[in-house]
Amino acid sequence: MVLPGLFKSPTNHSHTSTTLQTPRSALSAVPSSRITTASRLRTPNKSPSHSSEDSPVCGELDYSYIREAAHLRTIAAESPDLRELNNSLVALAAIFPDVQVEVFREMLSSFSEESRLAVVTEALLKDKMKFAQGRNKVAGKEAAHIHSKASGLVSPGQVQTEEKFRTTEYKEAVKSIAYHEFKGLSKSTILAVLAEHNYAYSLARPTLVTLSSKSWRYSISSLFLRRKPVAYTEAEHHPLIIWQSTGHGSILPTLKTTGSPELDKELFETLILPIQQRLSAEQEAKDHAIALQLNDKEAEANDGLHDCGCCFTATAFEGLSACDYGGHFICFRCVRHSVKEAVFGQGWQRNINVESGTLRCVAAMSDECKGCISQELIRRAFDEDQSEKDVVRKLDERLIEDNLLKTRLPLIRCPFCSYAEVDELYLPETQRAWRVKRAGSSFLYSLVFLILGVSMIPFLVPVFLLFSFLFLLISSRQTFRDFAIGHFTASLTRIRRKKHGLRFVCQNSECGRASCLSCSKAWTDIHICHESSLLALRTQVELAMSLAIKRTCPRCNTSFVKSSGCNKLTCICGYQMCYVCRKDIGNGEGYRHFCEHFRPNGGRGCTECAKCDLYRCEDDDVVVKKAKEEAERQWMEKEGTDLGGDEKVRKVLEEKWKKDGDASWWESRRWQWEMPDGQSMLDAFVEAVVE
């Protein structure tokens, strides 16, 4: 008898190259231009021309091609100066968590090497708004995915690799690849885009692809050579990926080395590894389906089929489960249907035994069977269908939720998932004792506070008597002692919570988001509870719109935005560039880069040349509009509302923005003193007196 896992391929991705089998249809579907284009890149040990036929097979060892993680070269240690810069970057990100990292990079690059961390810190402390220039971090949905790629947790001050200072070797490799891939763009344009994204190839490539598709060189070459549009979302069409033959009727994706181990690792993890994992999963699913078919045929030939006690379908023994009381056979299909009905339907109490976490027997009998199907068999049933693995996770979450409710312990819950843990402020009765603070440095303040409180008693007696009378009328069963103890205990809990901190990090590996225990919103440094959603929306939209039209000088890495004037931009370092195409227009080109023809009808494009306009920026409005819509969509998803479909709410928000647009920042957020409420006064008194 053939078992279901007979054709199961190994799950170790380091040996994927020896087990993946690609159908012959995939061989014919691979475009030849993909191989010939990528083969033109120069490598240290190979000639410039390669193809899928003359490339070395997988059995040979060729360090100019990367097929597995073992072929990646070791990344050399950073130089002392670069290490110091990155350490300073991490320190500044921890000190000023609300400022974007690019501000720190610019300041660290502009100051001298001696004590630059201290100088930059002092400058930001004195006038942070001057150096930040509005480049502050905004809470968005992308903050939920910054948490870590492996552990799912993020620590304060963490700086992503794409935002750190890069080595010269990495920058040169990125520029070399960009020059070769985007030949329709000028080098100055490519340098400007790379500078905007800190020379991160994975982040800069989408922008370069968009600019390349709009250039006149690309339009002419695609017209005569019939080239397909470059899609940065499809890893299979990347020019550095070459599909090499294994010699056994299949092909495998390989990565051509770039000369930089750091860039090779980045490209391997973003391009090759996802393809290998997808092909491995597809091959494993095909092998599993073939194994099941062979197993069913062999069982049917040998009279090894058994009837399910629920649907009475003839099934092989490997596809059956049995209850622990009557030994009734239940097929895996019925087990999956019963569990899904319990989790998502109305059959929880009928089908699930909460005490043992098992499935009650669903055999069709006149008398109800008291047996249950174990969790191991339930998981085996869902292993047959990979698309329904989330059902088992939902079942576990439902069982855990029921068990936590039975414990009656104080819990802290993640507002973004079902994770919960016991509150750390929960202490046994022996550790809840409190006492009055002893004489010390703060005792004088407590004494003055007590004297002022006692002196206010004659004025508060009428109010106290009135509220006591109303309280007795409303709740006659509760005594004043219980009322006072309850409020005193609640005040102690709030004070302990304040000292412990309000930042809660979810330990769920699939979530890992940080939230506030007070307002249950996503935690962002610096966090303000119950911040106005309108202000958050306005800030996020304005930041997204400004970043969409931001330009970066490739010479000094200074970022700037054109507010008015022509499209000829001159940086403070003397570098001249075009605002539209980002090309270097120095060395005498200047205004000759722009169209000089007379146009009878203003506001329209030139019909005699394809040069950039001196004043007209058609793309800016489109880019800003798209950035605004994307920022609004992200904010609405973050807030959990659907304001985008409500035109009335949208009009109210737009009118509010226009109304507050003329007012300055400090006029729109004036500080007004408010009388503290009774809860705040009680907390202040308890914190001053109780230790």
Query: What are the domain boundaries of the chain?
Result: 1-78+167-303, 80-163, 306-401, 429-505+679-689, 532-641
Q: How far apart are CA 240 and CA 236, in angstroms?
A: 9
- Reading phi first (left if > 0) and then psi (alpha if -120 to 50, else beta), residue 330 is in beta
Percent of the chain with pLDDT over 70: 69
Give the list of residues 6+ apart from residue 583 with CB closer than 8 angstroms, or none: 186, 188, 189, 192, 577, 593
Provide mean pLDDT across the span 510-534. Answer: 76
Half-sphere exposure of 630 (CA within 13 A, CB side): 12
To the nearest 10°, report the CA torsion of 130, 132, 133, 137.
-150
Q: Which residues of 338-357 are buried (b: 16+ CB within 10 A; e: fewer)?
A: bbbbbbeeebeeebbeeeeb
- Max CA-CA distance within the chain? 99
More confident residue, 213 or 453: 213
Tally helices (H) and strands (E) across the chain. Answer: 24, 18
Specify the long-range contacts of residues 82-86, CB closer than 8 Å, at least 24 apart: 82/165, 82/167, 85/165, 86/159, 86/164, 86/165
Residue located via tokens 């931001």: 550
Q: How far apart are CA 195 and CA 178, in angstroms?
A: 13
Around Cβ 479, how many Cβ atoms within 10 Å?
11
Q: How far apart are CA 163 and CA 108, in angstroms?
A: 13
Q: How far apart are CA 309 and CA 259, in angstroms?
A: 64
Give the closest residue to 246 by CA, choosing from 290, 292, 279, 219: 279
Q: How far apart are CA 334 and CA 321, in angstroms?
A: 10
User: Contact 395/353 with Cβ under 8 angstroms?
Assistant: no
Q: How far apart are CA 564 and CA 589, in angstroms?
A: 22
In 277-424, the DSSP E strands lie at 305-307, 314-316, 320-322, 329-331, 352-353, 358-360, 372-373, 411-413, 420-422
Examine the pLDDT at 48 and tell me if it is beyond 70: no
Give the closest residue to 166 by CA, choosing from 273, 266, 94: 266
| Residue 655 pLDDT grade (very low, low, confident, very high; cuts 50, 70, 90) | low
**Side chain identity at residue 158, one-letter code:** Q
More confident residue, 73 or 14: 73
pLDDT of residue 51: 38
Percent of the chain with pLDDT over 90: 6
Specify the long-range contacts of residues 320-325, CB closer than 8 Å, at least 24 apart: 321/373, 321/377, 321/378, 321/380, 321/381, 322/373, 322/377, 323/361, 323/363, 323/369, 323/371, 323/372, 323/373, 324/371, 324/372, 324/373, 324/374, 325/361, 325/369, 325/370, 325/371, 325/372
Compute φ and ψ for 657, nearest 5 degrees: -65, -45
Put simply, whether the predicted model's pTM sits higher than 0.85 gets the answer no
| Residue 450 pLDDT grade (very low, low, confident, very high; cuts 50, 70, 90) | low
H-helix or E-strand containing 671?
none
Tens of pLDDT, residue by residue over 107-124, are 888 887 778 888 888 888
More confident residue, 153 or 137: 137
**Side chain identity at residue 422, one-letter code:** V
Tens of pLDDT, residue by residue over 406-432, are 888 888 889 888 888 888 665 544 445
Tens of pLDDT, residue by residue over 363-406, are 888 788 889 999 999 999 988 777 777 888 889 888 988 888 88
Compute φ and ψ for 504, nearest 5 degrees: -120, 125
Report the mean per-residue pLDDT for the chain.
74
User: Contact 424/502 with Cβ under 8 angstroms?
Assistant: no
Three-class SS state of 591? helix
Name the token pair of 548: 């969409």
Provide mean pLDDT across the span 143-156. Answer: 43
Q: Cα-atom radius of gyration of the chain, to the nearest Å?
A: 33
Provide mean pLDDT across the span 298-320. Answer: 88
Give the closest residue to 422 by CA, choosing from 412, 433, 430: 412
Tens of pLDDT, residue by residue over 667-689, are 444 434 445 566 777 777 777 66
Q: How far apart are CA 422 and CA 425, in angstroms?
A: 9
Q: How far apart are CA 391 and CA 379, in angstroms?
A: 10
Q: Which of 300-314, 381-395, 549-563 has the highest mean pLDDT?
A: 300-314
Tens of pLDDT, residue by residue over 322-357, are 998 888 999 999 999 999 999 988 888 888 998 888
Q: How far apart are CA 44 and CA 150, in angstroms?
A: 33
Q: How far apart are CA 256 and CA 626, in angstroms?
A: 35
173-182, 397-406, 429-438, 531-540: the lowest-pLDDT one: 429-438
